[in-house]
Structure 1
Amino acid sequence: MTSSHHLPAGTAANGPYTVDVGPASAGWDHSALRVLRLPPGGRHAYHTGGSEWIVLPLSGGCAVTADGRTFLLTGRPDVFSAVTDFAYVPRDAHVTITSRDGGRFALAGARCERRLPARYGPAPAVPVELRGTGTCSRQVNNFAAADTFDCDRLIAVEVLTPGGNWSSFPPHKHDEHRPGEESRLEEIYYFEIAAHGGTPGLGYQRVSPSGRGRGTDLLAEVRDGDAVLVPDGWHGPSIAAPGHDMYYLNVMAGPDGERAWLVRDHPDHAWIRATWPGQPTDPRLPLYTAPSQ
């Protein structure tokens, strides 16, 4: 199987970014992800170009300035402890990110046409969804899902999978335009894996050919800081090793006129959904909820 779509930690680093994936490096047209690490008192400036971006704290807080407005992001200690606030910045803007105490910040981006206003996304407004049951139970923080936060092209969510569980299951795809049934979306998975007793964690990610596009075929052992690119194909499961909770940030965008996450389940595995109503949700979930207003 090819590993060209698996980017182990450090292999996609570029300058101040520990991960820097965009249309040029991915060989596609829309989706982008950067992970910025700032030291205490650190400052980073960039131009958004033809893309819209969300600045999402992974650990720590920051101030984001764009279009003459400054948004103070409280952030969080880490991705396994809290929902975070975030900032949206539009295309064709100059952005400055500063952090008094330092931290790590995901910049989720998508090429777009419309220039929407810069604005703040409060943590209490983030819908936290429990999806699946039994060993398919996972938590989804829908901070920039298509129906929860207005963007032109960008769709982004966080998924938390307790150790031993499977998420992104049943395998599904979104690589062809079928109105009302399926969207065309390029997708990036960015992983963080919880350590246990000082031992680093791991997980597994599968992508299999759908007969569309490149025929992406991948089975990767993923570790903290890895990324996986999904230009096409059935993707899933994402498997968390026992004892190690798994986090991934999904960044998606595509060419369809409607900004929507429409997927088709793999026909060999779609039946699993019918078993979920008869099983309880994993009692470890939610790992946390959004703070109250």
Structure 2
Amino acid sequence: MICLCLEGGERNDKMMNNKFGYPEFDENGIKVLTEMEGLYKDMLMNITVYKMKNGDVREFYSVNEEQAVLLVTGDVKYQWEKESRNVKRGNFLKEGIWCLHVCKDTKVTITAFADTEILVQSTTNEREFAPVFYTPEDCIEALAGKDLCEGTARRIVRTAFDYNNAPYSNMVLGEIVGFQGGWSGYIPHHHPQPEVYYYRFDKPQGFGACFIGDDVFKIKDGSFSALTPGKTHPQVTAPGYPMYVVWMIRHLDGNPWTDRVDDPDHLWMVDTPITYR
């Protein structure tokens, strides 16, 4: 069955299925995307976005969850253990990743010096590991899909940490920048591990579409998708509106995410030039 949920932004999350959400910030500047209990429990992650103003201070601590604290945009001071770092990020489309990754039982304090948005991803993990502060220089950034389908699937892929550089973690965190009018997550692919995408545009009217299996959802600024394991999930953004995506995966016990599984129906185009001009 095909679900064309293209105007669902005004609906309450509980009226939607558990594949896509349009949450808003509450009066305290908190926007919950997924929780390990509730509508999106199959994602196996707690993911929350916070708005902060100049002078705001927030603390993040969990007894049994590792945490990744990502600066989406703003001017902040990170503090953890005996360390601190002041960083700014003005444009999430053009500037790279600043992210602090800590194990359980580690407090992180964020102080804002301007309007700021941060995202916190967490999940259970009994392992202990030293905190890692990822900078744009530390993260892998690649231009993917540049030779596919006349460049219509070009996108920038940034990876902060995954199984390759953080095998002690139960999570993966990265970012995608989709070029205006282009596709990402292409060719259509899937994997058995749950994944969440959080979407931002530099203009609030920006939009696109996300395909999860046979279901289609309108992407809006601040929306997110909860990608069902085993379902393909390509997405496209409208001309004029490059799209920023935070992508977050939860490893499964004994089955960490290491690569995508391309849909065999579409593999033909990888090695076949497509030109009509």
Q: Does 1:194 align with 2:202?
A: yes
Q: Is the CA contact (8 Å cut-off) linking 1:170 and 1:236 kept in structure 2?
A: no
Q: What is residue 188 of structure 2 aligned with on the other side? A: 171
Q: Does 1:136 align with 2:136?
A: no
Work out which of the residue numbers 63, 81, 105 in structure 1 matches 2:77. 63
Q: Does 1:242 align with 2:255?
A: no
Q: Is the CA contact (8 Å cut-off) linking 2:103 and 2:125 kept in structure 1?
A: no
SS at match of 2:137: helix
Report the Cα offset of residue 106 of structure 1.
Answer: 1.2
TM-score, structure 1 as length reference: 0.79
> 2-side partners of 1:74 and 1:203: how far apart?
30
SS at match of 1:23: coil
SS at match of 1:125: coil
> 2-side partners of 1:103 and 1:62: how far apart?
8
RMSD, aligned CA: 2.3
Letter in 1 for 2:235: S
Cα distance change, pair 84–144 in 1 and its aligned pair in 2 (3 A):
same
Report the Cα offset of residue 47 of structure 1.
Answer: 2.0
Q: How many residues align?
A: 256
Letter in 2 for 1:191: Y
Report the Cα offset of residue 126 of structure 1.
Answer: 1.3
Cα distance change, pair 218–69 in 1 and its aligned pair in 2 (3 A):
farther
Report the Cα offset of residue 54 of structure 1.
Answer: 1.3
1:6-25 alignment to 2 at 5 Å?
A: 6-10=20-24, 15-25=28-38
Q: Is the CA contact (8 Å cut-off) linking 1:172 and 1:266 kept in structure 2?
A: yes
SS at match of 2:83: strand
Q: Is the CA contact (8 Å cut-off) linking 1:131 and 1:137 kept in structure 2?
A: yes
Q: Is the CA contact (8 Å cut-off) linking 1:157 and 1:250 kept in structure 2?
A: yes
Report the Cα offset of residue 149 of structure 1.
Answer: 4.5
Cα distance change, pair 273–38 in 1 and its aligned pair in 2 (3 A):
same
Q: Is the CA contact (8 Å cut-off) linking 1:59 and 1:104 kept in structure 2?
A: yes
Letter in 2 for 1:189: Y
> 2-side partners of 1:41 and 1:72: how far apart?
16
SS at match of 1:234: coil
SS at match of 1:190: strand
Work out which of the residue numbers 197, 200, 209 in structure 2 matches 1:204. 209
Cα distance change, pair 51–15 in 1 and its aligned pair in 2 (3 A):
farther
User: Which runs of no fewer than 5 residues in structure 1 stay unpaired?
Assistant: 176-184, 209-216, 280-293
Report the Cα offset of residue 151 of structure 1.
Answer: 4.5
How far does the alpha carbon of each residue in 1:144-195 deviate from its partner, in whole angstroms, 9 at most, with x for none? Answer: 23324554111011000111111111111112xxxxxxxxx11110001232
Q: Is the CA contact (8 Å cut-off) linking 1:58 and 1:75 kept in structure 2?
A: no
Q: What is residue 50 of structure 2 aligned with on the other side? A: 36
SS at match of 1:116: coil
Q: What is residue 51 of structure 1 aligned with on the other side? A: 65
SS at match of 1:147: coil
Q: What is residue 261 of structure 2 aligned with on the other side? A: 264
TM-score, structure 2 as length reference: 0.84
Q: What is residue 163 of structure 2 aligned with on the other side? A: 146
Q: What is residue 283 of structure 1 aligned with on the other side? A: none
Q: Which runs of 4+ in 1 moved over 3 A?
A: 12-16, 148-151
> 2-side partners of 1:228 and 1:240: how far apart?
14
User: Which runs of no fewer than 5 residues in structure 2 stay unpaired?
Assistant: 6-15
Q: What is residue 282 of structure 1 aligned with on the other side? A: none
Q: Is the CA contact (8 Å cut-off) linking 1:143 and 1:149 kept in structure 2?
A: no
Q: Is the CA contact (8 Å cut-off) linking 1:73 and 1:86 kept in structure 2?
A: no
Q: What is residue 101 of structure 1 aligned with on the other side? A: 114
